[in-house]
Structure 1
Amino acid sequence: MKKATNKTLTRHASLLTAALVATLLAACSTPGTRVVLLPQADGTASAVVVRSKDGEELLSKPYQRATAAVGASGAPVVDQADAAKVQAENKALFDMRPPPPQRYTVYFELGGTTLTAASQQIMSEAMAAALARSGSDIVVTGHTDTKGNGEQNDVLSRRRAQEVAQLFIERQFPAKRIEAVGRGERELAVPTADEVDEPRNRRVTIEVR
């Protein structure tokens, strides 16, 4: 019997959620493999492929279940598990799940790395959350509006992300637990034409997880 393997999991899926799926492999009342796909904490889609020697099935909905008994022929049998029962039977594992990520967005003045006045308060809230969350890590993603060319905006978005990351480091948050990346103008919060000054696109998103 081949074990289940992930087909698609979003980057926000926690390691513990994956561990819960793996642990449920042993939940069969008869020898074999059983997989129950758990929902992601942030509601994003995920899926897992369950394979046996004679076929495979894709689980793509929360609490879908695939069962492949030892010696049985054909692909795994898929049905819908009862969410409350799964949670009750695996309470200790569910209790171990980390809290969902906390997300913040800060905005910048045109053309630079200066935070707007309102974003100063948001930064304080994000810092407090990161410092209070034991073992947390942070993903900081910089963005720009469409003013300027793409190469310049890539550089600017990275600078913005690095500036925000540095603010966390100055508050004694471990630098090795911060990832800072820039997306330039490729992921606009508000779609616009080229060369448009849109304050809502000049931003950094902060995910504390």
Structure 2
Amino acid sequence: MRVLAFAAAAGLLSGCATSTVTLLNDEAGGPTGAVAVYDQDTGAEQGQLTAANTMARVGGKTVTVRPARGDRYADLMSRMPYPPRAYVLYFYEGTVQITEESKPVLEALRRAVTAETDVQIIGHTDTVGETEFNDKLSYDRAVEVRAALVKDGLPVENSRVVGRGERELRVPTADNVSESGNRRVEVILR
């Protein structure tokens, strides 16, 4: 058998009758992670564990999952990447100008970004206007946000910019509807 660990899972399924697998979770109380066990010959899933303090029979063995506690995994946890952080900025209709309400979000974003931060910037629009116009506008909004972050020290190569136009509406609307909730840029920091 082969153990495939997703997220921060550690463990060993050996010839013992019972094996213990520790699933690490972030200190913010985020998801625990998961372990899936596959048969190496057939590739068929033998079982999976997706929550702390659970037990399952996997490949004829009992596997117990327990959360990581204490300092035993402190070194490993200190090397784990931070979970992605998301920021949303809103824009005035038909422009690349952020709303007054979004200025504090931009300031918080500027404080959060470092030279090592990986940044994904995704521009969006509402459904007012032609598709081509909205594609360009959404991209231009994302570029404006990146320019503000680069000005504050983010290396341009640490960012990816895309414009999604009106294809991923946060608030579903019909065509040619002005909806402020859709005029946005989503910034994801890793």
- Which of the five TM-score ranges fits, normalised by the shorter chain? 0.7 to 0.9
Are the aligned partners of 1:104 and 1:207 in contact in 2 as well (CA < 8 Å)? yes
Judged with a 3 Å threshold, the aligned counterparts in structure 2 of structure 1 residues 207 and 91 are, in CA distance, closer, same or farther, namely: same
User: What's the CA shift for 1:184?
Assistant: 1.6
> How many residues are paired up?
185
Matches within 5 A, 1:47-66: 49-53=36-40, 55-59=44-48, 61-63=50-52
Give the match's secondary structure for 1:190. Answer: coil
Q: Are 1:2 and 2:2 counterparts?
A: yes
What is the CA–CA distance in structure 2 between the aligned matches of 1:42 and 1:124, rounded to whole Å? 26
Identical pairs, percent: 33
| Correspondence for 2:177 | 196
What is the CA–CA distance in structure 2 between the aligned matches of 1:150 and 1:195, rounded to whole Å? 10
Q: Which moved more, 1:58-67 or 1:138-147?
A: 58-67
User: What's the CA shift for 1:137?
Assistant: 1.4
Judged with a 3 Å threshold, the aligned counterparts in structure 2 of structure 1 residues 59 and 186 are, in CA distance, closer, same or farther, namely: farther
Larger proportion of helix: 1
List runs of 5+ in structure 1 lacking aligned partners. Answer: 7-17, 69-74
User: What's the CA shift for 1:180?
Assistant: 1.1
User: What's the CA shift for 1:45?
Assistant: 10
Judged with a 3 Å threshold, the aligned counterparts in structure 2 of structure 1 residues 27 and 52 are, in CA distance, closer, same or farther, namely: closer
- RMSD value, Cα: 3.5
Q: TM-score, normalised by structure 1?
A: 0.70
Query: Which consecutive aligned stretches of 4+ in structure 1 deviate over 6 angstroms post-superposition?
Result: 31-34, 65-68
Give the match's secondary structure for 1:205. Answer: strand
Larger proportion of strand: 2
Judged with a 3 Å threshold, the aligned counterparts in structure 2 of structure 1 residues 111 and 176 are, in CA distance, closer, same or farther, namely: same
Give the match's secondary structure for 2:145. Answer: helix
| Correspondence for 1:125 | 108
Give the match's secondary structure for 1:127. Answer: helix
What is the CA–CA distance in structure 2 between the aligned matches of 1:42 and 1:163, rounded to whole Å? 34
User: What's the CA shift for 1:145?
Assistant: 0.5
Judged with a 3 Å threshold, the aligned counterparts in structure 2 of structure 1 residues 31 and 154 are, in CA distance, closer, same or farther, namely: farther
Matches within 5 A, 1:101-140: 101-131=84-114, 135-140=116-121
User: What's the CA shift for 1:39?
Assistant: 5.5
Kindly provide the amino acid, as one letter, of the partner of residue 162 in structure 1.
V
Which residue, 90, 94, 106 being the options, matches 2:73?
90
Give the match's secondary structure for 1:125. Answer: helix
Judged with a 3 Å threshold, the aligned counterparts in structure 2 of structure 1 residues 94 and 5 are, in CA distance, closer, same or farther, namely: closer
Matches within 5 A, 1:1-209: 1-4=1-4, 18=7, 20-21=8-9, 24-26=10-12, 30=16, 49-53=36-40, 55-59=44-48, 61-63=50-52, 75=59, 77=61, 79=63, 81-83=65-67, 86-88=68-70, 89-131=72-114, 135-209=116-190
